[in-house]
Amino acid sequence: MHLMKTIIMKRRALALAGIGALALAACGTGPGESGGSGASDGDSAAQSPASDRTEVGALSPRIVLAHDGGVTTLDSADGSELGSAELEGYVRLNPAGDGRHVAVSASDAITMYDTGLLAQGHGDHFHYYVQDPVLTDLSVAAPHPGHVVPHDGRTALFADGTGDITVIDPAALAEGELDVVEETATDDPHHGVAVPLTGGGMLLTQGTEDARSTVQVLDAEGEVTAQTDDCPGVHGEAAAQPTESGDVISLGCENGSVVYRDGAFHKVAIEGDYQRSGNQKGHEDSPIVLADHKVDPEPAGGIERPTEIALIDTRDATQQIVDLGAEYWFRSLDRGPNGEALVLTTDGELNILDPETGEMLHEVPVVGEWTEPDQWQEAAPMMAVADGTAFVVDPEAQKLVMVDVASGEIYREMDLPVIPHEIQVTTGTASGEYEIAPGSDGEHESAASDAGGEDHEGHDHEGEDHEGHDH
């Protein structure tokens, strides 16, 4: 079996090169703004003095928007602009894994953006604080930055240009440290992905710029324990409900998805020779993975605009195909707090489905009719889910609509100050839910309700699985 050399570096805190490529300005507008010295001395922009923080009764989720020129953060309670950062180049966003920071990919680096939400345990209860958002100096050099995947308390950053994989402990970000716990690399650079596994192992792809079809699982010592070469065009990944044996990961291929479960790979059977599910969304409490469903290897104009989705059952490597009757694109997919499958379609509707049965639970008109752009970098309707809410963006109208996933009801709308092409929402906790003090009476009310005074149903857990980008 192939043996990959893996370098383990426990508890190493440093700021890696890459921030020099980013043009920074106006990162936050208040006392939470910091000068941005290196993290090696613990005096980083990621950590503002306690005096700059304001204690609050509850946290309102913060909406981070990537747009031409940088990122902007809004308060979900009233749409007010809390801060911004100017960045050169095309900006992409991913969850960093702690529920507070967003991993910003731009200019051959991945840099941590602190959204300023803090939930701190104190004995048998929690305290909540807010501070100004700021682009920190915690950065990893990543030529052609690719997938960022949080899983099992660690976050893997993949550089497509080099094949380098950097694994960090996201919990250290709150202390102003970039704690690199592992570094390794694939055999050759390619558009790939890595997933930290429970117990210290890693799942990763192997390939080249021309072709990629191999997925490997390594143990903590870097030895290959499972491998499949039957995943041509491997792209995108999603973690599903684990089994007693450990992690369950689904990956998209061009001949049907492949599922890693119980220490081995299992191929999902398809009709015909071609079926691509390069964008997948999982939920840690659901064995079902939501995926796109493309069946044309040579679509007209080079872009297939599917109307069908796949609901992949990782328990037996089967899938159910559901036709939504309208097109969607790679930024259309997400999961609800109870594993609901969410798909935003070009007829302007947010479709909320039961993942086990494929039954439609809610069809919510949220935006006007739209068409997938010819270039994936262009802005078009998209969404993110956090705290039980689907945050749906209509860039053309510069509007955002907030939908309660459980009821399918729209409970807030707001104007946007920018035309965004990507969105992330943070809640202050890695799970995406608000922590409840042990022994407390009843559930903690939702932040949206606390902040906005609206009668909105309480929000449950919303996992932060990575979106596979198919472009």
Mean pLDDT score, 180-199: 97
The pLDDT value recorded for residue 120 is: 86
Which pair of structure tokens corresponds to residue 397?
């109208």
pLDDT at 156 > cutoff 70: yes
What whole-number distance in Å separates Cα of residue 36 and Cα of residue 439? Answer: 40
Whole-number average pLDDT of the chain: 85
Mean pLDDT score, 67-73: 97
What whole-number distance in Å separates Cα of residue 386 and Cα of residue 384? Answer: 7
Confidence (pTM): 0.85
The pLDDT value recorded for residue 50 is: 58
**What domains are there in the chain, each with its CATH number?**
7-298+306-452 (2.130.10.10)
Convert the pLDDT of each residue in 432-445 to its tens digit: 654 433 333 333 33
Convert the pLDDT of each residue in 269-324 to its tens digit: 999 999 999 999 999 999 999 999 999 999 998 899 999 999 999 999 999 999 99
pLDDT band at residue 65 using 50, 70 and 90 as cut-offs:
very high
Lowest mean pLDDT across 7-16, 253-262, 405-414:
7-16
The C-alpha angle with vertex 239 and arms to 272 and 357, in degrees rounded to 5, equals: 60
CB-count exposure of residue 431 (10 Å: 0-12, 13-18, 19+): middle
Q: In what order do the strands lie in the sheet with 179-185?
A: 7-13, 179-185, 164-169, 154-159, 145-151
The pLDDT value recorded for residue 49 is: 53
Report the range out of 45-49, 182-186, 434-438 with the highest average pLDDT.
182-186
The pLDDT value recorded for residue 52 is: 86
Q: Is the model more confident about 433 or about 381? A: 381
